[in-house]
A and B are shown apart, each in its own frame.
Chain A
Amino acid sequence: MIDKRVYDFDAALEGMADGATIMSSGFGAAGAPQELLEAVLDCGFRDLVIISNNAGEGERGLIKLLKEKRIAKVICSFPTSSNSEITKELYAAGLLELEIVPQGTLSERMRAGGAGIGGFYTRTSVDTPLAEGKESRSFEGIDYVLERPLTAQFAFIKAREADRWGNLTYNLSARNFGPTMAMAADTTIVQVDQIVELGDIDPEQVVTPGIYVDRIIEVKGG
């Protein structure tokens, strides 16, 4: 029997260690797996490498980890938010490494990582500082930059519903990076609003098929 449900955060985070690379879904606070991120804080892990569109928003999740100096590096498209100064402070103090990746390239690199693609050429970032040091190539007179896949040991995702096989649905724009990150990590851990019976999710409505998901934990009101 396949049962990906876990019932506490220790079980959800099994195998994690200091220095772990974690993809964290969410665009701003929408779809951010705050409870999973705060469980990492409670477990004491540090020197983390986070892959996420933003380096946190507001007061929760990544912002808490940043404030406790648990994060060594963030790979993101846009690190700052209008409602937190911590990223700016840590960066100015030399305590946080940032790798800035254009948002579409960030997403596509993770897709490539999840899809077994060794790299891809994109026009995005051509003639900009973000293309420096990367191989470039011209196809039919158009310049492209080679981008390499991005994978991680763990992906943290927030979804709306899951069944015990790990099939997922999302809520509106909280979907954002979830489906792509689920493909790209060795271990994909999902916090869901509600776990439902197998068969309750119409196969036509499944957004992330369970094959990409390793562990699910129900977090009511998360």
Chain B
Amino acid sequence: MARLSRKQIAWRVAQDIQDGTYVNLGIGAPELVANYLPDDREVIIHCENGLLGMGPTPPEGEENPDLINAGKKPVTLVNGASIFHHTDSFAMIRGGHLDICVLGAFQVSERGDLANWATLDNSRPPGVGGAMDLALGAKDVFIITDQCTRDDQPKLLESCTYPLTGKGVVSRVYTDHALIDLENNTFVVREIVEGISQEELQNMTGANLVIADNCTTLRTPEL
């Protein structure tokens, strides 16, 4: 069955980030979005650890341990970048100054609730990082995730069963099978990858899907 790779999902997200946007990219798959932003757009990437204007990964040998992103990977700065301390960085986040935040998810509910920091397994130490601040603070929260877990449990649900990160915060979900908006407490399917029927997509989802009138095929380059 056709499904998108992480890189292809990241590419699709990047196409929706418009010129002039201030965007925060979460740890993991969301970091890949930076690689696919169209060249003709000026997009300013915020890192929670105090950067605006994150640039590409440095060439090997030119990494600076004092210049890292939220995933603690070495990065560079673009011309026009700025550096600030953590409290200012989170004032930007919590004060509603970021246009978009891209995050991963364990679960998303049809009401836009997000669960992405803790499972019900208490044997491992929990860690929330900046996820709760980002989920509530950014004007739009985009999610990159798979339609189902590795053991085929749906991740898009009527209600989250894991502890919440934020309630009613998600605007759009990009999965390995579809692009789905959250509208009026409903999953609205905008694009489906080639080779997947609406019925198959519904069977991989734990909540009712509404197919948009103008629903199209989700196409990406081979990546």
- Known A77-B130, A88-B125; contact A173-B66, beta-carbon cutoff 8 A: yes
Instruction: Sort chain A's interface into a size bin.
Output: 35 or more
Interface residues in A9-52 by Cβ distance below 8 A to B read: 27-31
- Number of residues of chain B lying within 8 A (CB) of chain A: 41
A124 contacts which chain B residues (CB < 8 A)?
A: 94, 132-133, 136-137
Q: Which residue of A lies closest to B113 (CB)?
A: A127
Complex Cα distance A177/B127, Å?
18
Tell me whether chain A's interface is mostly helix, strand or loop, or mixed.
mixed
Most chain A CB within 10 A, of B47, B72, B118, B164, is at: B72
CB 8 Å contact bits of A90-117 with B (1 = contact, 0 = none): 0110000010111111011011000000
Q: Which of A28, A130, A180 contacts B128 (CB 8 A)?
A: A130
Across the interface, do B118 and A173 meet the contact criterion of CB distance under 8 Å? no
Across the interface, do A78 and B136 meet the contact criterion of CB distance under 8 Å? no
A138 contacts which chain B residues (CB < 8 A)?
A: none
B136 contacts which chain A residues (CB < 8 A)?
A: 123-124, 126
A53 contacts which chain B residues (CB < 8 A)?
A: 86
Most chain B CB within 10 A, of A79, A126, A173, A207, is at: A173
Assess whether A136 is interfacial by the CB under 8 Å rule: no
A177 contacts which chain B residues (CB < 8 A)?
A: 85-86
CB 8 Å contact bits of B49-70 with A (1 = contact, 0 = none): 1110000000000001111100
Give the B-binding residues of A (Cβ under 8 A): 27-31, 53, 57, 76-82, 87-88, 91-92, 98, 100-105, 107-108, 110-111, 122-130, 170-180, 207
The 7 closest A-B pairs by CB, nearest first: A104-B90, A104-B133, A78-B127, A28-B72, A103-B130, A174-B66, A127-B167
Give the A-binding residues of B (Cβ under 8 A): 47-51, 64-68, 72, 77, 83-87, 89-91, 93-94, 118, 123-133, 136-137, 163-167
